[in-house]
Amino acid sequence: MSMTSDEQIIDHSVQHDAEKTPISPNATPAVSDNENRGSDIEKSQPAVTTEPNGATADAPSADTVAPIPPPDTGRAWLAMIGASFGLYSSFGYINVVGLYEAYYLHHQLSHYSASTISWITSLQIFILFVGGIFFGRIAEMYGPQKLAAFGTVFTITGIMTTSVCKEYWHFLLAQGICTSIGNSAIYYASLLAATTWFQKKRALALGVVVAGSSLGGTTMPFIFTKLQPRIGFPQTVRAIGYLMIGVCVICTLLVSSRFPPNKKLRKEFFNLREEVLVPYTKPSIILVTLAMFFSFWGLFTAIGYMSTHAIAHGMSEETAYYLVSIYNGSSLIGRILPGFVADKFGSYNMHSICTVICGVFLLAMWIPAKTNPVIIAFSSCFGVISGATVSLFPALVASITPPTEVGRRMGVVSFFYSFSSLTAMPIAGQILHSDNDNFTGLQVWAGVTMLVGGFCVFASKMCIEGKTWRSKF
């Protein structure tokens, strides 16, 4: 009988530990080192139980810690709802960076170039992802609830401070750094919660969770464009901040992990060899990282310059700001439906196909988009197609990672590809400036990088032992 990827990983770990540690005749069966880390049992070896999908898990006695609950049931659904609210307030806020950039370019920071202003929003995206190398580990050490509470404080402080900013460096500190630290903490707390609670329905659950960011990206531009002309920029940003308070509190109350806090990690905060050097000896991890690196170069270039491109071709500012809402509203479908399909045909298959189609779409439709109807149609279609690029990333990493190490592994992978999110819009802005505000070079850049990202995902799958181009994975 074939095993799932999680089962194969844990089974391999059990064999590896058995080779390293002699077992006395009277000893109880050994469990995987990954699960021991998750349950933090130091006194004696627990027995091995079987989860619904066949994976081994610890079953410690009542005087140590409670048994690990089964996945895909019970508390999992509450964690999924809380994680959706977390993505609304973190990645959902990141999804409107194009709106903020377009507004700054024509108002408070109009005397700065597009490339200079883009460093604010690029820094915001960069910190969201690079923070994973710290927050992914902290979420495993202390649990996602405490991390979400920490992120709430920074998120609300940064948004409220942005409302009173006047100078470039004010926006850089408040929006680019403070808010982003909070966004990153909430983002990884939410992903850890959803990833650990689901196995058979993981891709679908992550699609629903990441769809929360689509709702955030849909509603916040609508709030901004309706309120800003009436009450001004400061009060509008504060209104978004008040909304965030409620959303973040719900997230903090509902998120949880299927595994208890890993106290052993507190003794050694970071192990370079075990968490970076050893995993990156595997071509599959290297190629997944490269895939996200190139994909996010193209994705954030398109999102960041969607409104600016529309305004340059005669669209009114108000209508151009709605493009972000149209994109995010469409991506709601593109983030849930691919997850459902991926659970049946494989996350790697679905991700690679959708990302390649995104690259083709940027080259074939965005470049000739010059009129309002075509630009609006592009933003809608691109939202649907690009949804899988974001929603299936955690599933790619979780499929080749022991379940109790998912938080740390996602953090390390995110750390490396975060540099593409940092440089995406400044590079695109420089291309735009070099071409005398002609968007063709920028659009080609976005399309080609997404094509490369899609092919890297497919290559990663081919490097996994036992997988072929036809494998469901």
pLDDT at 40: 39
Answer for the pair 359, 454: CB distance below 8 angstroms, yes or no.
yes
**Region 132-151: what's the mean pLDDT?**
89
- Each residue of 210-260: pLDDT tens digit? 888 888 878 887 888 888 888 988 899 999 999 999 999 999 999 988 888
**Region 428-452: what's the mean pLDDT?**
89
Contacts of 185 (CB under 8 A, 6+ apart): 131, 135, 138, 147, 148, 150, 151, 154
Confidence check: pLDDT of 388 > 80: yes
Answer for the pair 388, 396: CB distance below 8 angstroms, yes or no.
no
Q: Tell me which of 34 and 227 has the higher pLDDT.
A: 227
CA distance 224 to 222: 5
- Each residue of 93-115: pLDDT tens digit? 877 776 777 788 888 888 888 77
pLDDT at 11: 45
pLDDT at 38: 38
User: How does residue 116 score in pLDDT terms, banded at 50, 70 and 90?
Assistant: confident
Answer for the pair 418, 126: CB distance below 8 angstroms, yes or no.
yes
In the chain, the percentage of residues whose pLDDT exceeds 90 is 23
User: How does residue 472 score in pLDDT terms, banded at 50, 70 and 90?
Assistant: low
- Which residue type sits at 424? A
**Region 160-165: what's the mean pLDDT?**
91
pLDDT at 362: 93
Q: Tell me which of 335 and 86 has the higher pLDDT.
A: 86
- Give the best-scoring range by mean pLDDT among 12-26, 171-185, 321-335: 171-185
pLDDT at 25: 38
Token pair, residue 15, equals 């064999």
CA distance 221 to 321: 7
Confidence check: pLDDT of 17 > 50: no
Confidence check: pLDDT of 5 > 80: no
User: How does residue 469 score in pLDDT terms, banded at 50, 70 and 90?
Assistant: low
User: How does residue 132 score in pLDDT terms, banded at 50, 70 and 90?
Assistant: confident
User: How does residue 269 score in pLDDT terms, banded at 50, 70 and 90?
Assistant: low
CA distance 445 to 107: 28
Alpha-carbon torsion, ordered 213, 219, 224, 229, to 10 deg = 170
CA distance 71 to 86: 20
Mean pLDDT over all residues of the chain?
A: 79
CA distance 193 to 257: 5
User: How does residue 320 score in pLDDT terms, banded at 50, 70 and 90?
Assistant: confident
This prediction's pTM:
0.72
User: How does residue 367 score in pLDDT terms, banded at 50, 70 and 90?
Assistant: very high
pLDDT at 452: 94
Confidence check: pLDDT of 57 > 50: no
CA distance 454 to 471: 17
**Region 286-312: what's the mean pLDDT?**
89
C-alpha distances in Å from residue 120, one per residue of 5, 94, 372, 431:
40, 11, 28, 18
Answer for the pair 187, 128: CB distance below 8 angstroms, yes or no.
yes
- Each residue of 395-430: pLDDT tens digit? 888 787 787 777 788 888 888 888 887 888 888 888
Residue indicated by tokens 């391999």: 12
Tell me the domains of the chain and their CATH numbers. Answer: 5-59 (no CATH), 75-462 (1.20.1250.20)
User: How does residue 60 score in pLDDT terms, banded at 50, 70 and 90?
Assistant: very low
**Region 377-390: what's the mean pLDDT?**
88
